[in-house]
Amino acid sequence: MKNVLVLVRHGESEWNRLNMFTGWQDVDLTEEGVAEAHRAGAMLKAEGAHVDLAFTSLLKRAQNTLKIILSELDQDKLPIVFDAALNERHYGDLVGLNKDEARERWGEEQVHLWQRSYDIAPPGGESLKDTAARVLPFYTKRIAPELQAGKSVILVGHGNSLRSLVMQLDRLSPEQVKELTISTGMPLIYRLRPDGTVAEKRDLAA
Alpha carbons 189 and 166: distance in angstroms, whole number: 11
| Contact present, 8 and 187 (Cβ < 8 Å) | yes
189/26 Cα distance (integer angstroms): 27
Are the CB atoms for 90 and 128 separated by under 8 Å?
Answer: no
Alpha-carbon span 20 to 91, nearest angstrom: 11
Check 12, 36, 72, 88 and give the catalytic one.
88
What is the H or E stretch that residue 197 is in? none
In 3D space, the residue among 113, 65, 110 whose CA is nearest the CA of residue 86 turns out to be: 65
Active site residue 88: yes
Q: Is 112 considered catalytic here?
A: no
Give me the active site residues, please: 10, 88
